[in-house]
Amino acid sequence: MWRLERERFAISSISNNGVEMLDGEVNFWVEDEFGQRYRADNEPCRITVEAAGPYRAVVKIEGEFSNPLGRFFSYWLRLHFCAGGEQVLMLAHVRNRETGREGRKLRRATLSGRLNLKNPVHRILHNVRTRNTLQVPLEVPENIDIDVGERECAIRNSASLREDPDDVCWTLLQGTDITTNRNCTALLDFHQPGRGGLLIKFAEPNPVLEAPMRLGGDNGSFEVDLFPSAAECYHFNEGMGKTRHLLFYTHDDSLTTADLFHDSDQ
């Protein structure tokens, strides 16, 4: 169950079977070319129920980012809920509605928050490229960054890749160091044994075609960069916008890691 605030942008609760997953609120913010940050919760938002059928509901949140200096870019989020389902599809859109031939430059656009999980383990799906591609769920205890680039989706720190010696995978079988291949699926699961957790995933069929994007996690804090910070800013002409597809999946311990990751593809 998700709870939204009426007067301003805020996702104040995400729960699964009565277990609260959030510690605080999910924030949505952008940065301009000078590093000034503008937040969605500084402005009123409009919430519209676009579909309210017995099996499916669609809720749209729209508003603008601002800080004491003024407003910068607008946004909308479209949340798709299914009856009895634990997965929520989010379409997140940022747009430059300001007039002017020169357009505006965006440095970063991010959804961030903190989870109500104690010492969570980050779980990823590592793609071991062989003659037949093998996907292996791995646990990463330290902070993690998964970068979606134009050529590949990969974990930033290859030293975080540790293979279970009890699993006879291709890398162990062939005596190959697992850290030689950083390629991963564009998902990141936060899991506390006995409590469950939250899986966040870029839901595009082929995320590298929508690059750049980023998923980050650090001891229960998460960042979903729709546009990650880069050397060059992203230029938006007047009226130009971009949409990202995200999947949020709250879960308990009833599924194995492999089954959970497979279920997120359905």
Q: pLDDT of the chain along its 266 residues, tens only?
A: 999 998 899 999 999 988 999 999 999 999 999 999 999 999 999 999 999 989 999 999 999 999 999 999 999 999 999 998 899 999 999 999 988 888 999 999 999 999 999 989 999 999 876 656 678 899 998 999 999 998 899 999 988 988 777 766 656 556 667 777 899 999 999 999 999 999 999 999 899 999 999 999 999 999 999 999 988 999 999 999 999 999 999 999 899 999 999 999 87
Prediction pTM value: 0.93
Assess contact for 241 and 200: CB atoms under 8 A: no
Sign of CA dihedral 196, 201, 203, 206: negative
CATH class name, domain 2-263: mainly beta
In terms of residues, how long is the chain? Answer: 266
Q: What's at 223, amino acid-wise? A: E
CA distance 144 to 188: 9
Name the helix (H) or strand (E) containing 125. strand 121-128
Assess contact for 201 and 213: CB atoms under 8 A: no
3-class state of residue 171 by DSSP: helix
CA distance 49 to 248: 19
